[in-house]
Amino acid sequence: MPNPEVATPARAESPAGRVRASPPRRAPCFAVAPGPLLVAPAAVTPTKALTPSHVKGLLWLDVLFKATARLRATVYVANRRALDTAVQTAGFWVYLDRYHAGESYAGKDEAWIGARYVEFHRSAAAPCPELLTSYRERIERDGWTHPVSRRVLQIWASYYELLGLHDPGLWRSEPLPLDVAGLLEALRDLDSLLDLRALGGGVYLDRTDEGLPLRQMIDPRGSGNYLLGALRELLPAARAVGAALLLYDDELVADYVLLERLLGRAGVGTSRLSLGRVPLENGVQSSRNGGWEAYTFDRFVDRYVPSFGREAFRLGMRLYFIAGLRRTAGVPFDFAELDRSMARAARLLEMPRGPDDPDALGALLRRHWSPAGFVDPIRLANLLFVRRPDPAHLALLPLFT
């Protein structure tokens, strides 16, 4: 299946505003109606402030989902259980209970919580292994969520609402469909497992015969990394649906190429869409290193919602984070550009448009169908992110607001 990373036309990546929209093409005729698609985004752990890179991922995912769902049945993977058992979440909870015991999180904002997350990574003190294991067992068994992450999810839920994001289950935490033994058995059946536990070693995902680097999934102490949780959810879910799209941060590309191959061996038609992180003033950074403090979501809200209103905010954010920042990590974040996107959004919303016409929208989306089996958000955003948009393209606005 073609890879959207290469299939995306160069034109769609040109600086927005300086290009014309792609010339209209004939709508592809689906020889057979496409079957359902499972969209599996690399989710954000609820341990930190949403940074522009996270916002970009959420907005891309939202437009991709809403547009693709018009043409084929589309479902998300949404289950926090795997994410919460990951060391970066459970380890952070252990850290807080050790160094901030008795803290009340109810009134804390993202900046405070994000600063503790940076502090946790700077402390470089590995969480006590026994304690970490007991936290992970409790999360796995009961779906327990630490108050700090309940607070983060509460804040994020308000952002989702404000942005009009489709929420497949921000709070959903359900038992993972495969246990560890079941996953290892499935990977063995896929001839993709290297298990050195008999030697006191770890467990590895092995597609080295295809030239992919060996990847550890369980360390010699028996502790699994995020791939273990992800696969316990993803492998059965993708098998049940039959087709999957993996959406992830560029820096995880090696892992996601591996996941794509594993799912492919399991008979799942799989494609990938990688997004570059948004460079801030210090370049591309992980949240754990800080540097995001001046770009938290509440600043966007304070700066734009009162003056532009909620609908223009939703549209302006989508135009900027999709067409303005583009797929790769090449364009640094710039408030002046976001200001212009908001003004552009306000103008678009003032343009006269007819009643919503699902047939016209469907035909428009079919023209921007990616051969990889989804509607590429940047191609839609580019239609709106031009000086004089074609009035016919205003039919896309419900997907962007």
Partner 1 sequence: MSDVADDELRRLLERRLAASGVDLAAALAGHDVEAGGPRLAAVVVLKAFDPASFVAGTVRFAARLPPDLSAAWYRQFTRTLFLVGDPRRLAARFRFDHASPDGAVAWRAPDPGGACDPIARLLKPLQTEGPCRLDRRGLLRCQPRAPGGAHRRLTLDVADLPLERALVHLNHLACEAVIEGRLGPDDRLDLLDAGAIGRPRPSFTAVRVHRDALAPTALRLYGALEEVNDA
Nearest distance in Å: CB 189, partner 1: 16
Residue 130 contacts partner 1 per CB under 8 A? no
| 88 contacts partner 1 (rule: CB under 8 A) | no
Contact 369, 385 (CB under 8 A): no
How many residues are recorded in the chain?
401
Query: Taking each helix axis from N to C terminus, what angle separates 87-99 and 129-142, rounded to the nearest 10 degrees?
Result: 120
| CA–CA distance, 312 with 347 (Å, rounded to integer) | 9
Taking the least distance from each CB to partner 1, the nearer of 118 and 212 is 212
User: Nearer to partner 1 by C-beta: 184 or 378?
Assistant: 184
Residue 274: beta bridge partners?
248
CB of 180 to partner 1, least distance (A): 17
Query: 181-186 long-range contacts, Cβ below 8 Å, gap at least 24?
Result: 182/232, 183/228, 183/231, 183/232, 183/235, 186/235, 186/266
Looking at 96-104, 191-199, 319-327, 367-375, which segment touches partner 1 (CB under 8 A)? 191-199
Sign of CA dihedral 36, 243, 175, 275: negative
Q: Which is nearer to partner 1, 16 or 205 (CB)?
A: 205
Phi, psi at residue 158, to the nearest 5°?
A: -70, -35
Residue closer to partner 1 (CB basis): 233 or 260: 260
How many residues sit in the footprint of partner 1 (CB under 8 A)? 18
Strands of 193-195's sheet in order across? 193-195, 203-205, 215-218
Q: Closest CB to partner 1 among 212 and 375?
A: 212
Task: Report d(CA 324, CA 337) in Å as an integer.
Answer: 8
Residue 194 within binding range of partner 1, rule CB under 8 A:
yes
Span near partner 1 by CB under 8 A; candidates 35-43, 198-206, 228-236, 272-280: 198-206
Using CA atoms, how far apart are residues 299 and 203, in angstroms rounded to an integer? Answer: 43
From residue 201 to residue 240, the character string flagging contacts with partner 1 as x (rule: CB under 8 A) and all else as - is: xx-x-x-xx-xxxx-x---xx-------------------
For partner 1, the closer of residues 193 and 348 by Cβ is 193
For position 199 contacting partner 1 by CB under 8 A, the verdict is: yes
For residues 62 and 255, which CB has a smaller minimum distance to partner 1 in the complex? Answer: 255
**CB of 196 vs partner 1, minimal distance in Å:** 6
Radius of gyration of the chain, Cα coordinates, nearest whole angstrom:
22
List residues near partner 1 by CB under 8 A: 194, 196, 198-202, 204, 206, 208-209, 211-214, 216, 220-221
